[in-house]
């Protein structure tokens, strides 16, 4: 079976999308429509902006989404039987399997980005990548040092030996120190604006839930493996519920990939900027075929 997988925040780069923009008139029209939907010239920022401009959450998330959907439109005559997306990429995947229109998907992405950016302003928070330790070790340290007002939790289960943690900055820094002592090859703070996929995103989750309730969700053409449950979903109400809960819950990417393989997925095509997912999938199971479409 063949699948499409869509990257999340962090895969952006200056000049992203220019090649696919020039490839077809319908793609150019779709990408240009994003400027009107968002109310600012995001395509100009994608093509001509610098790294700092692209790092702003309210720019990054729509830019990655637009690029991903544009690239997905270039795929022809391939039988796609399942989709998944990493964090933000879940919204791209929901356009990929017909649940959301491009316009509604982009509006949700922008609302998500603004809500997350606002939540980040409320409290000093951050994320860190922990490399080279078993998940159980990282989970135990997070549980041990977390308090109600200074928490740190597992946020992204990216692949075996790579787990991102998220929470209040002081708790994240303390966890990094302890995890280095326990043998982590690396425990490094990430250049993100806040504690994504943690309880500190509750206000963003509440805001996004209101918008999701009002958005039209169609019946999917193929199952989506969602971050919250890591399992195949086709029921639209369940998809909505999982999309809401994703905001404050971990991205279970390792388990998603394993479940897709268990359901006979043999070919993964990364659809969007960069090749991050390609590398993660090979680390999860190097027996599958992985390719990348990034224009």
Angle, alpha carbons 218-222-228 (nearest 5°): 80
CA distances from 173 to 4, 36, 124, 143, 150 (A): 35, 41, 12, 14, 11
Rounded distance between C-alpha atoms, residue 53 and residue 31, angstroms = 19
Q: What is the DSSP letter of 248?
A: G
β partners of residue 82:
3
User: Count of CB atoms within 10 A of residue 140's CB?
Assistant: 13
Catalytic site positions? 87, 197
DSSP 266-281: -EEEEESSSSHHHHHH
29-57 burial by CB neighbour count: b if 16+ within 10 A, else e? ebbeebeebbeeebbebbeebeeeebbeb
Handedness of CA 227, 155, 247, 107 (dihedral sign): negative
Estimate the crossing angle of helix 89-96 against helix 57-72, to 10 degrees: 30
Rounded distance between C-alpha atoms, residue 219 and residue 111, angstroms = 22
């Amino acid at each position: 079976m063949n699948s499409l997988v869509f990257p999340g925040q962090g895969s952006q780069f200056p000049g992203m999308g220019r090649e696919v923009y020039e490839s077809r008139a319908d793609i150019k029209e779709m990408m240009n429509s994003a400027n009107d939907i968002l109310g600012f010239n995001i395509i100009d920022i994608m093509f001509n902006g610098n790294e700092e401009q692209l790092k702003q959450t309210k720019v990054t998330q729509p830019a990655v989404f637009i690029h991903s959907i544009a690239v997905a439109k270039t795929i022809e005559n391939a039988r796609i039987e399942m989709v998944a997306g990493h964090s933000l990429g879940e919204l791209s995947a929901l356009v990929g399997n017909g649940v959301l229109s491009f316009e509604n998907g982009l509006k949700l992405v922008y609302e998500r980005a603004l809500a997350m950016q606002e939540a980040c302003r409320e409290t000093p928070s951050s994320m860190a990548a922990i490399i080279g330790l078993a998940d159980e070790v990282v989970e135990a340290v997070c549980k041990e040092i977390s308090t109600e007002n200074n928490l740190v939790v597992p946020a992204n289960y990216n692949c075996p030996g790579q787990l991102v943690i998220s929470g209040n900055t002081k708790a994240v820094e303390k966890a990094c120190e302890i995890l280095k002592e326990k043998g982590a090859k690396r425990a490094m703070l990430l250049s993100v604006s806040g504690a994504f996929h943690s309880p500190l995103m509750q206000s963003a989750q509440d805001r996004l839930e209101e918008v999701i309730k009002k958005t039209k969700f169609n019946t999917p053409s193929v199952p989506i493996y969602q971050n919250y449950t890591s399992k195949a979903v086709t029921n639209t109400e369940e998809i909505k519920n999982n999309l809401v809960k994703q905001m404050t819950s971990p991205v279970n990417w390792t388990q998603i990939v394993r479940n897709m393989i268990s359901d006979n997925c043999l070919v993964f095509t990364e659809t969007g900027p960069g090749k991050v997912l390609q590398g993660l999938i090979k680390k999860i199971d190097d027996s599958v075929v992985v390719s990348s479409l990034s224009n």
